Amino acid sequence: MKRLRYAGVLTAVALAVAGCGGQKIADDKPAAAGKDCGTFNLTVSPWVGYEANAAVVSYVATKELGCKVVKKNLAEQVAWQGFATGEVDVNLENWGHEDLKKKYITEDKVAVEAGSTGVAGVIGWYVPPWMAAKYPDITDWKNLNKYAALFKTSESGGKGQLLDGDPSYVTNDEALVKNLALNYKVVQSGSETALIQSFRDAEKNKRPLLAYFYEPQWFFNEVKLVKINLPKWTPGCDAVPAKVACDYPPYDLDKIVSKKFADSGSPAYDLVKRFKWTNEDQNTIARMIAVDKLTPDQAAEKWVKDNQPKVNTWLGR
Amino acid sequence: MAAITSDAEIEVRRPRRSVVAGVLLVVWVAAYFLLRGIDTLALGGQDTTALHRWLTEHRDDVGQGNVLFDAIRIAVGNFVVLLQDLISQPSFDRPVPVIGWLGVVALAAYGAWAFGNWKVAVLTAAGFGFIGMQGLWQESMDTLSLTIAAVLLSLLVAIPLGIWAGLSDRAFKVATLVLDLMQTLPTFVYLAPLTLFFAIGPAAATIATLIYAAPPAVRLTAHAIRSVPPASVEAARSLGSTHGQTLTKVLLPMSRSTVVVGINQTIMAALSMVTVAALIDAPGLGQTVLKALRTLDVGVAFNAGLAIVVLAIVLDRVTTAAGDRPWRTANLRRRILLGAGAVGVLVAIWFSRTYVWAAEFPADGTLGARIATITSSVTNWVQDVFGGFTYGLRDAVTNGLLNPFEALLTGSPWWLVTAVVVALAAVLGGWRATVPAVVCTGLLVATGLWADSMVTLASTLLATVVVVAVGIALGVWAGRNHRVDVWIRPLLDAGQTMPPFVYLVPFLALFGSSRFTAIAAAVVFAVPVTTKIVADGIKAVPVATVEAANSVGSSSWQVISKVQLPVARRAITLAVNQGLIYVLSMVVCGGLVGAGALGYDVSAGFVQNELYGKGLAAGLAIVLLGVLLDRVTQAAARRTQNYQGSNRNRSRGDKR
């Protein structure tokens, strides 16, 4: 009996809504997709700074050029595989990776470089601001051994702890600790999430922390971390990984696109090629996404409104 | 063997074995103080062995440009895209999918009603409605498309394999071995090699999911066919049925409900793979979770995780109801109703194709935002209130228990640890445990990751002890009290399906990045399965037995310890075993929150080209640890208990 009633209710509901109608889908055609631009696949690497790049490029490509942008959330090195299969057309922020350039650009010829993003990458060791204020000389690496006891944790086996990040990051830290004779142990936190959470907690509860970190990073807008000065980087001082005893080099982050995309003659390729901005620009959007919780599109829209001249140069106007 | 004699044997034997084991441990500790630091086989984080480099160099030899793999990838990819076009993505030059939300809800509810009953139909509609209200309709439909594709393809392979393993003893043995391996293999480990064969994207994600999801269906199909009473088969044979007829007319119909349980488990496994597969570009809720965690937005991650849990609960209840439904032809009245319902569904689909309100879910996601806000505030509150205390707890446990134990394992020479492990296996489990112990420890040394394996082993064992203690306590409570059982079931379901990534962040805040954090996460993940199995075991204790104990004036404690626990011993052994396997499968996630060792090696191998081979070796090491622990606990359990036929032991898959 209950089943019968259920079917009855269903029919009644169906008949009722049949009467009321509403806006039809045919009235709601999609915005005319640009015929000359088409679709491209954009990889989105797992940090918010990259997401800011992706947000603004995809916003401009969609709104100004009528392209369809498909975003793919992928780990940085995994994404390179996509150039060969057509899964990925554009990488907007590449951190070095000479080995991958050699494989995919020089050997397999499936990808090409598309110039600098204008963003300067910095890698190094950082402490939370309260520590730099309390122990001003801590920012010199020579004093790190003096403070090693402060950084002791349950994980560091009696030495000071140097916290490292995501396994995909470029790091020389184990060699550095050894070659600079520091009384520290490198402990792997395993993810960017873990690093940021550790810094957040360290600043809030005034706990000591020494960890690997990098710029540009939206988190600097929340906590102004202080960089430790390691022995100055000179060209070639990091040539042999096991013997590194100097700071990380400055990175000029660049763009990589698939060969197919570069040859397609799409206006989107010209946009990607001309796309260039600053750390400040990137952090502005990253902050809107990470802290103000805007969607990437909303954040990009806001930024583009304030920076129309810059966008115009990307569009070649 | 008669029960009485074996019980007597246990009484005599048990103290002797534990004394021998105790002496072994004491000797080990003494030897550790003499020999520590020698032959520890430690390997630095960025260091590799010849084997690792060889694996790295040869990674491309198999994968690139293989016609067969490309064909599979394209076929699977098209299938997934077809499903996405149907229910989730704008398709065929329309701004909306072929079937809008109203059509999907009607179709799903109708299916739930036709295969199950009207109750699950209502649950289905409510569940889908809730997901839509959360503002996650499209993501959920992407996840559903991928899940459906992976489950259908799994069944295509798993059911025939299961039937084969059900009919042939030899196939059964081989299948059991392979499936054991597959279920211990951490998902991260095969994600990297898979991308070599199938690139990245929805196709690769589907294939990864189907590999993970197929084993339960194979196991349960085989199990179902083997459990059909021989009398029925003989009856069919004597009436002149051929093999094929026996299979289709007797074996399959009679095993239908168990096969449906297998399908149910396959669906659950597929859903739990969704977040991990997002790492190789699986569409859907997994993306939302991972993205939220990038900005440490626990609220949004929880919101998306909740949608996965709701999907899981709906699919679980529907398949369970479908399994319970007797296999018979519908009567006339039901046929008429089914027909009327089908017309209703078609009407709903027509609406969802025609009108905007029925095509795009008319919710702005306020509910989702509110859930996210509440979760974030609760998380923050917990962090603020318990923050200091949790760090103290972490340090006490780490310094008091974990570090000494780990030092014993990693500081002793490898040959000493190996000797102790093999000797313990021999004492506790006999030759059934000794052979795997020798093989596994030998191969562990060969992977070049001995020291990391020992670090992981220390954390795993400690986590398992906690899991077993909590699981037995909760399980006994739930098994004795129906109301408790009803209340904690949904929580246990959530614990199992909620993506571990979601609770890793609050745990990071509470405990910092450390091995303890990983242990805590593993405990949350593994306690549900242990609790469920123990509760089932306690419930299965005959009422008469408990009544008898009560009538002679036993206290509750006496009833539990003298009657219920001993009678449910087999279930408890299974619970311990499964708890171990679940803890071990969380090892890789532990690597993401500071547990280092094998978990970190595996994830590093996934993302760094130079460490690919090392990651693969680390994955193998986790499997070896799993096989070692599994075999030793099972053999030990078998020697402790009276032997009741080995096929029941193999029902591990049922409980997943």
Domain that holds residue A63: 39-119+253-315
The amino acid at residue B89 is Q
Q: Residue B185 has what pLDDT?
A: 67
Q: Length of chain B, please?
A: 656
Q: How far apart are CA B440 and CA B629, in angstroms?
A: 10
Top-confidence residue, B185 or A213: A213
DSSP state of A248: P
Contact call for B356 and A47, based on CB within 8 A: no
Q: Residue B646 has what pLDDT?
A: 38
Q: How far apart are CA A171 and CA B238, in angstroms?
A: 72
Same domain (yes/no): A180, A157? yes
pTM attached to this predicted model:
0.78
Same domain (yes/no): A132, A233? yes
Taking residues B274-297, what's their average pLDDT?
Answer: 82
pLDDT band at B65; cut points 50, 70, 90: low
Average pLDDT, chain A: 84
Per residue in B22-43, pLDDT tens? 888 898 888 888 888 777 777 7
**Is the pLDDT confidence value at B642 over 50?**
no
Same domain (yes/no): A115, A257? yes
Contact call for B387 and A85, based on CB within 8 A: no
Q: Indicate the CATH number of B64-94+134-327 among 3.30.1200.10, 3.40.50.2020, 1.10.40.30, 1.10.3720.10.
A: 1.10.3720.10
pLDDT band at B453; cut points 50, 70, 90: very high
Looking only at the bridges linking them, the beta strands covering A226-227 and A111-127 are antiparallel
Same domain (yes/no): A55, A113? yes
Q: How far apart are CA B310 and CA B292, in angstroms?
A: 19
**Is the pLDDT confidence value at A86 over 70?**
yes
Instruction: List the single best residue of A159, A185, A189 to mutate versus B (max B Cβ within 10 A).
Output: A189
Superfamily classification of domain B17-36+43-58+382-647 = MetI-like (1.10.3720.10)
**Is the pLDDT confidence value at B337 over 50?**
yes
Taking residues B241-248, what's their average pLDDT?
Answer: 82
Q: Residue B643 has what pLDDT?
A: 41
Q: How many CB pairs under 8 A join A and B?
A: 195
Domain contains A43: yes
Q: Residue B5 has what pLDDT?
A: 43
Nearest chain A residue to B594 by CA: give it.
A189
Looking only at the bridges linking them, the beta strands covering A160-164 and A184-188 are parallel
Contact call for B399 and A194, based on CB within 8 A: no
The partner residues of A211 in beta bridges, in order of sequence, read A126, A163
Does residue B569 contact residue B641 with C-beta atoms inside 8 Å?
yes
Q: Residue A133 has what pLDDT?
A: 94
**Is the pLDDT confidence value at A130 over 90?**
yes
Task: Give me the residues of A, 247-286, that contact B with CB < 8 A.
Answer: none
Query: What is the domain count for chain A?
Result: 2
Counting other chains too, the contacts that A93-97 makes at CB distance below 8 Å and 24 or more residues apart are A93/A45, A93/A49, A93/A50, A93/A53, A93/A117, A93/A119, A93/A253, A93/A255, A94/A253, A94/A254, A94/A255, A94/A256, A95/A121, A95/A170, A95/A251, A95/A253, A96/A170, A96/A251
Q: How far apart are CA B361 and CA B549, in angstroms?
A: 58
Q: How far is CA B643 from the centre of its chain?
A: 27
Per residue in A243-267, pLDDT tens? 889 999 888 899 999 999 998 888 8
Q: How far apart are CA B281 and CA B283, in angstroms?
A: 6
Q: What percent of chain B has pLDDT over 70?
A: 91
B108 contact residues in A (CB cutoff 8 A) = none
The partner residues of B48 in beta bridges, in order of sequence, read none
Q: How far apart are CA B616 and CA B58, in angstroms?
A: 12
**Is the pLDDT confidence value at A50 over 60?**
yes
pLDDT band at B644; cut points 50, 70, 90: very low
Task: Give me the residues of B, 614-633, that contact A with CB < 8 A.
Answer: none
State whether residue B357 sits within 8 Å of chain A by CB. Answer: yes
CA-to-CA separations, B353 to B128, B357, B596, in angstroms, rounded: 18, 10, 51
Q: Residue B464 has what pLDDT?
A: 92
Taking residues B452-472, what's their average pLDDT?
Answer: 92
Q: Residue B486 has what pLDDT?
A: 79
Taking residues A171-175, what's their average pLDDT?
Answer: 86
**Is the pLDDT confidence value at B210 over 90?**
no
**A110: closest CA of chain B, how far (Å):** 13
ipTM of the complex: 0.75
Q: Which of A27, A73, A171 sits opposite B287 (nearest CB)?
A: A73
Same domain (yes/no): A163, A192? yes
State whether residue A154 sits within 8 Å of chain B by CB. Answer: yes
Q: Residue A12 has what pLDDT?
A: 53
Q: Residue B8 has what pLDDT?
A: 44
Q: Could you give the residue range(s) of every CATH 1.10.3720.10 domain in chain B? A: 17-36+43-58+382-647, 64-94+134-327
Among the residue ranges A27-31, A97-101, B175-179, B467-471, the one predicted with the least confidence is A27-31
Q: Residue A132 has what pLDDT?
A: 93
Q: How far apart are CA B636 and CA A138, in angstroms?
A: 55
Q: Residue B649 has what pLDDT?
A: 39
Q: Residue B145 has what pLDDT?
A: 93
Q: Residue A26 has what pLDDT?
A: 60
Task: Give me the residues of B, 44-83, that contact A with CB < 8 A.
Answer: 44-46, 64
**Is the pLDDT confidence value at B207 over 50?**
yes
| Strands of A18-133, DSSP E | 39-44, 68-73, 90-94, 111-127
Does residue B182 contact residue B172 with C-beta atoms inside 8 Å?
no
Taking residues B523-532, what's their average pLDDT?
Answer: 86
Does residue A196 contact residue A219 with C-beta atoms inside 8 Å?
yes
Domain contains A4: no
Does residue A59 contact residue A300 with C-beta atoms inside 8 Å?
yes
- CA-nearest of B628, B584, B458 to B187 is B584
Q: Residue A303 has what pLDDT?
A: 93
Taking residues B388-401, what's their average pLDDT?
Answer: 87
Q: Which of A30, A48, A192 sits opposite B95 (nearest CB)?
A: A30
Instruction: List the single best residue of A97, A152, A154, A291 to mutate versus B (max B Cβ within 10 A).
Output: A154
**Is the pLDDT confidence value at B187 over 80?**
no
Contact call for B337 and A21, based on CB within 8 A: no
**Is the pLDDT confidence value at B66 over 50?**
yes
Q: Residue B275 has what pLDDT?
A: 78
Does residue B194 contact residue B280 with C-beta atoms inside 8 Å?
yes
Taking residues A217-240, what's their average pLDDT?
Answer: 88
Largest pairwise CA distance in chain A: 84
Same domain (yes/no): A193, A208? yes
Handedness of CA B106, B108, B113, B118 (dihedral sign): negative
Same domain (yes/no): A214, A194? yes
Q: Residue A17 has what pLDDT?
A: 52
DSSP state of A222: T
**Is the pLDDT confidence value at B651 over 50?**
no
Among the residue ranges A45-49, A109-113, A151-155, B396-400, the one predicted with the least confidence is A45-49
Contact call for A190 and B594, based on CB within 8 A: yes
Taking residues B4-16, what's their average pLDDT?
Answer: 48
- CA-nearest of B585, B561, B564, B579 to B633 is B579
Same domain (yes/no): A269, A230? no
Task: Give me the residues of A, 164-223, that contact B with CB < 8 A.
Answer: 166-168, 171, 174-175, 186-198, 200-201, 205, 218
The b/e string for B495-525 (b: 16+ C-beta within 10 A; e otherwise) is bbbbbbbbbbbbbbbbbbbbbbbbbbbbbbb
Per residue in B397-430, pLDDT tens? 988 899 999 889 988 899 999 999 999 998 888 8
**Is the pLDDT confidence value at B277 over 90?**
no
DSSP H stretches of helix in B326-449: 332-354, 356-359, 366-397, 403-411, 414-429, 431-447
Helices A267-274 and A48-65, axial angle in degrees (round to 10): 140
Q: How far apart are CA B384 and CA B517, in angstroms?
A: 17
Q: Residue B596 has what pLDDT?
A: 79
A82 contact residues in B (CB cutoff 8 A) = 199-201
Top-confidence residue, A40 or A29: A40
Contact call for B592 and A193, based on CB within 8 A: yes
Q: Residue A211 has what pLDDT?
A: 94
**Is the pLDDT confidence value at B161 over 50?**
yes
Q: Residue A21 has what pLDDT?
A: 56
- CA-nearest of B189, B208, B200, B278 to B501 is B278
pLDDT band at B62; cut points 50, 70, 90: low
Q: Which of A248, A269, A292 marks a domain boundary?
A: A248
**B18: closest CA of chain A, how far (Å):** 32
Largest pairwise CA distance in chain B: 82
Top-confidence residue, B290 or B645: B290
Q: Residue A192 has what pLDDT?
A: 80
Q: Residue B189 has what pLDDT?
A: 66
Taking residues B219-223, what's their average pLDDT?
Answer: 83
Nearest chain B residue to A241 by CA: give it.
B46
Q: How far apart are CA B272 and CA B311, in angstroms?
A: 11
Q: Residue B129 has what pLDDT?
A: 92
Q: Residue B45 has what pLDDT?
A: 66
- CA-nearest of A122, A9, A46 to A290 is A46
Per residue in A203-216, pLDDT tens? 988 999 999 998 88
Domain contains A307: yes
Give the pair of three-digit tokens for residue B161: 């394999």
Which CATH number goes with the domain that contains A97? 3.40.190.10
Contact call for A85 and B281, based on CB within 8 A: no
Task: Give me the residues of A, 47-106, that contact B with CB < 8 A.
Answer: 47-48, 51, 72-79, 81-82, 84-85, 87-88, 99-100
Average pLDDT, chain B: 82
Same domain (yes/no): A209, A301? no
Same domain (yes/no): A208, A273? no
Contact call for B344 and A3, based on CB within 8 A: no
| Strands of B575-641, DSSP E | none
Same domain (yes/no): A133, A223? yes
Taking residues A278-285, what's their average pLDDT?
Answer: 89
Ranked by mean pLDDT, the top range of A41-50, A206-215, B347-356, B505-514 is A206-215
In what helix (H) or strand (E) does residue A163 lie, and over which residues does it extend?
A: strand A160-164
Same domain (yes/no): A242, A260? no
pLDDT band at A7; cut points 50, 70, 90: low
Q: Which of A248, A268, A292 marks a domain boundary?
A: A248
Contact call for A99 and B610, based on CB within 8 A: yes
Q: Which of A248, A266, A292 marks a domain boundary?
A: A248
State whether residue B596 sits within 8 Å of chain A by CB. Answer: yes
Q: Which of A21, A81, A196 sits opposite B296 (nearest CB)?
A: A196
The amino acid at residue B31 is A
pLDDT band at B654; cut points 50, 70, 90: very low
Contact call for A154 and B340, based on CB within 8 A: no
